[in-house]
Amino acid sequence: MAESALAINETSALKRRLLIGLVAGFLGLVVLAPLAVVFTEALRNGLGAYFNAFADSDAQAAVALTLAVAAIAVPTNIVVGVAGAWAIAKFSFPGKSLLVSLIDLPLSVSPVVSGLVYVLLFGAQGLFGGWLQAHRIEIIFALPGIVLATIFVTFPFVARELIPLMQELGKADEEAALTLGASPWRMFFTVTLPNIKWGLLYGVLLCNARAMGEFGAVSVVSGHIRGLTDTMPLHVEILYNEYNFVAAFAVASVLALLALVTLILKSALEWRYRDALAAGHRR
């Protein structure tokens, strides 16, 4: 009997090691190896060449545009995402399932298709193109179009992080606050927001990382005007197509660092506030 149990334990341990080895090998091949190549190629000619890649005016314009787009898209998604999650989690209304589906839509639609939709709506030959041209309003091949495309592809990250959390928390705390005379805004900032702050922060981190790294939708609506409408991912493509590999990988390394920082921050927050997170999930 003891020998049989020992054999089962040894078999389980072997399977566990095989599974861990398989996952580790896969992640090393698909994730770590490409990251290592990015940083190796970026630093191939030394730190001088690396930093020279960012001395170029087009690179600086791409960085500035990327930051500007994220600075607009992320706060917009915070406001709309929190409002959408609140409505879905706290109320019952006709069309609720449709609203949930619409929130999930950007996750299932190709970013290139979403960018094309904005061109068909706001481009020169689009549905509203004539009216926009008559009023000298530029959306496509300008900052507004890039922002709209970025908001579309990043919108689900905040809302989808908050919906299950708000549903699990329920309405008891908010109803108690209202019963005690709190105004709706005070109830939100003193009761709801503290309960969802970590979920909201996770959503914001993921939303920001995707906003700064988005390529497909932005590529369609930007027009690739160098120094004007090229974000960092688009600038990487231009440099790579020009065989300026060191500069391309240098800019790409910043995007890779952003992804790593996002992961580290998320893990650090989970570790630092694990007790608060567990308490929130138990409520």
Task: Report yes or no: 46 and 250 within 8 Å, Cβ to Cβ.
Answer: no
Q: Using CA atoms, how far apart are residues 17 and 198, in angstroms rounded to an integer?
A: 34
Q: Rounded to 5, what percent of the chain is helix, strand, coil?
A: 80, 0, 20
Q: Using CA atoms, how far apart are residues 49 and 255, in angstroms rounded to an integer?
A: 18
pLDDT of residue 281: 47
Q: Which range among 4-18, 37-51, 76-90, 266-280 shows the weakest confidence by mean pLDDT?
A: 266-280
Three-class secondary structure of residue 183 per DSSP: coil
Is the pLDDT reported for residue 35 higher than 60?
Answer: yes
Spatial neighbors of 223 by CB under 8 A, at least 6 apart, are 140, 141, 229
Task: Report yes or no: 210 and 153 within 8 Å, Cβ to Cβ.
Answer: yes
pLDDT tens per residue, range 86-105: 989 888 888 888 888 889 88
pLDDT tens per residue, range 237-257: 999 999 999 999 999 999 888
pTM above 0.85, yes or no: no
